[in-house]
Amino acid sequence: MIKQLAVLFSLAFFVACDEELDSQRTFVDPNPFDVELRINNKSNFQLDSFNITTGNESVYYGSLERKKTSISKSFQSAYEEMDLNFMVEERKFIHIPPTTSTKLENGQYELQIDGVDTSTLKFTFLLEKLE
């Protein structure tokens, strides 16, 4: 009887730990042939209606609170330069790259948004591949 309780307790413990790990994951697609991209809003503004278009895909991220990171979204393929569109305080921010750029390797990436200036409608961004 004690042995059965120990096994039951161990099973419950490992299941609980697994659920905690799942809740901390920000990357959603286990497919190694995709590009997964999350957005880290480092600015002091909420970014609304955030949308990324790269290649033939357009992915909507919705609103991103200031100083927060979004969940990851999956692209079948993506490029280093991408169209970025979002709103801040009802002002529209747009980045359209001049030309098509290098295709990204499959994996997990983070796009950091910072330096949002509502008077000039400019912002800075950095794309990093994550380990």
Considering the domain boundaries, does residue 47 fall inside one? Answer: yes
Considering the domain boundaries, does residue 11 fall inside one? Answer: no
Q: What is the CATH number of the domain that holds 53?
A: 2.60.40.2890
Instruction: Mention every residue, 6+ apart, whose C-beta is less than 8 A from residue 66.
Output: 41, 43, 44, 45, 46
Considering the domain boundaries, does residue 13 fall inside one? Answer: no
Alpha helices in 1-131, H assignment, sequence order: 2-24
Range of the domain at 111: 26-129
pLDDT digits (tens, 9 = 90+) for 71-126: 999 999 899 989 999 999 999 999 998 876 899 999 999 999 999 999 999 999 99
pTM greater than the 0.85 cutoff? no
Considering the domain boundaries, does residue 7 fall inside one? Answer: no
Handedness of CA 60, 56, 81, 73 (dihedral sign): positive
Total number of domains in the chain = 1
Q: What is 58-83 written as a DSSP string?
A: EEEEEEE-TTEEPPPEEESS-BSS-E
